[in-house]
């Protein structure tokens, strides 16, 4: 079990991804600005790829920002490479210098497992890919996203600020 019939390569599991992320030191998480790793259903991502529709982009970010989709060693969300896409969520400051811009950087599980330290760091993974492809990863201002949510959903979504992400990573990946 765990062997792929087609290529003879071991199938990647949720445990493989979690083990790779657990191998990242606290300093390396800090250097990467404490990103959150999320898993979303492939159809949602593919709808975004094929559309310029604002509702598709909003639906995509509803999944990316949903705390139930954040993966971690102690989280309930299980990443399934057959059904999910891995997304690394990075934050940036807006024009006023406030952290509210988020980029959803997709990554392959194989790449994440081979080099988790560089894959979680926007300077080594996201930015070079954007430059090379001359395209931006999906980007949103959190407050524009939040304002479009129905009021009954707004309590589910909190801005994953740097401090919030840091606390999330420390509590979930470092048990001290």
Q: Residue 40: exposed, middle, or buried by beta-carbon count in 10 A (0-12, 13-18, 19+)?
A: buried
Which of these, 176, 169, 172, lies nearest to 28 by C-alpha position?
Answer: 169
- Backbone dihedral region for residue 3 (phi beyond 0: left; psi -120 to 50: alpha; all else: beta): beta
pTM for the structure as a whole:
0.88
User: Number of folded domains in the chain?
Assistant: 1
Q: Is residue 5 part of a domain?
A: no
pLDDT bin (cut points 50, 70, 90) of residue 57 is confident
pLDDT bin (cut points 50, 70, 90) of residue 175 is confident
Q: Is residue 9 part of a domain?
A: no
Q: Is residue 53 part of a domain?
A: yes
Q: What is the mean pLDDT of residues 5-23?
A: 82
Q: Is residue 3 part of a domain?
A: no
CA angle 21/25/26 to nearest 5° reads 110
Q: Is residue 26 part of a domain?
A: yes
Domain range for 163 = 14-169
Q: Is residue 104 part of a domain?
A: yes
Q: What whole-number distance in Å separates Cα of residue 80 and Cα of residue 86?
A: 9
Q: Is residue 129 part of a domain?
A: yes
pLDDT bin (cut points 50, 70, 90) of residue 54 is low
Q: What is the mean pLDDT of residues 75-103?
A: 93
Q: Is residue 7 part of a domain?
A: no
């Amino acid at each position: 079990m765990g062997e792929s019939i087609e290529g003879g390569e071991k199938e990647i599991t949720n445990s493989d991804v979690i083990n790779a992320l657990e191998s990242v030191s606290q300093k390396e998480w800090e250097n990467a600005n404490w990103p959150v790793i999320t898993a979303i259903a492939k159809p949602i991502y593919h709808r975004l790829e094929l559309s310029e529709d604002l509702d598709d982009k909003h639906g995509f970010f509803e999944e990316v920002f949903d705390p139930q989709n954040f993966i971690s060693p102690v989280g309930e969300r299980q990443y399934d490479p057959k059904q999910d896409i891995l997304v690394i969520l990075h934050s940036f400051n807006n024009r006023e210098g406030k952290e509210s811009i988020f980029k959803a950087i997709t990554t392959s599980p194989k790449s994440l497992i081979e080099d988790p330290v560089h894959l979680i760091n926007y300077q080594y993974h996201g930015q070079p890919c954007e430059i090379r492809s001359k395209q931006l990863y999906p980007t949103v201002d959190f407050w524009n996203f939040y304002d479009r949510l129905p009021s009954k959903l707004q309590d589910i979504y909190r801005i994953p600020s740097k401090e919030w992400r840091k606390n999330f990573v420390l509590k979930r990946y470092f048990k001290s």
